[in-house]
Amino acid sequence: MKRLLSFAALGLCLAAPAFADLALATSKNCMSCHAVDRKVLGPAFKDVAAKYKGNAGAADMLAAKIIKGGSGVWGPVPMPANTQVSEADAKKLAAWVLMTR
Ligand code: HEC
């Protein structure tokens, strides 16, 4: 039964990478300040995706900003550095944010 469940979970992750990256974002605490479809403390991820649509350098720029934090793009509230996020995870998260709609 346990085995069956983990197979089902694996299938879900393979079928839905967006779901897996939401889980990553949740585990890295991003979702305490962000939501996909509405502004919380930080901008809605779908608004970020719309802003950088067609901008080829956006993924790298956002990955760096996710780690270092930054301010002045969306309003007066800065994003603190997220030093618990590795460079590889930051790239995954940036790519996922840019895919949200
Ligand atoms: C303490 C609250 C907080 C946390 C935690 C947080 N953010 Fe943010 N985030 C913000 C705020 C506020 C802004 C707007 C900063 C600005 O205006 O430049 C922002 C901006 C962003 C942007 C847009 C940057 C830009 O230049 O357009 C992205 C992408 C982002 N956050 C992703 C993440 C990810 C991924 C995580 C998790 C690793 C995360 N954030 C964690 C508050 C937070």
The structural domain count of the chain equals 1
Where does the pLDDT of residue 16 fall: very low under 50, low under 70, confident under 90, or very high at 90 and above?
Answer: low
Whether 7 shows a pLDDT value over 60: the answer reads: yes
Residue 10 lies in a domain: no
Residue 7 lies in a domain: no
Which range marks the domain in which residue 75 is found? 16-98
- Ligand 1 pocket test: pick from 34, 36, 89, 98 the residue with the most ligand atoms within 8 Å of its Cβ: 34
When pLDDT is averaged across residues 38-53 and rounded to a whole number, the result is: 97
Residue 8 lies in a domain: no
Residue 48 lies in a domain: yes
- Position with higher pLDDT, 4 vs 10: 4
Residue 2 lies in a domain: no
Whether 35 shows a pLDDT value over 60: the answer reads: yes
Q: Rounded to the nearest whole angstrom, what is the distance from the C-alpha of residue 8 to the centroid of ligand 1?
A: 32
- What is the CATH classification number for the domain harbouring 20? 1.10.760.10
When pLDDT is averaged across residues 16-24 and rounded to a whole number, the result is: 82
Residue 34 lies in a domain: yes
Where does the pLDDT of residue 48 fall: very low under 50, low under 70, confident under 90, or very high at 90 and above?
Answer: very high
Write 24-32 long-range contacts (CB < 8 A, 24+): 24/89, 24/92, 24/93, 24/96, 25/93, 25/96, 28/82, 28/84, 28/85, 28/89, 28/93, 29/82, 29/84, 30/82, 30/93
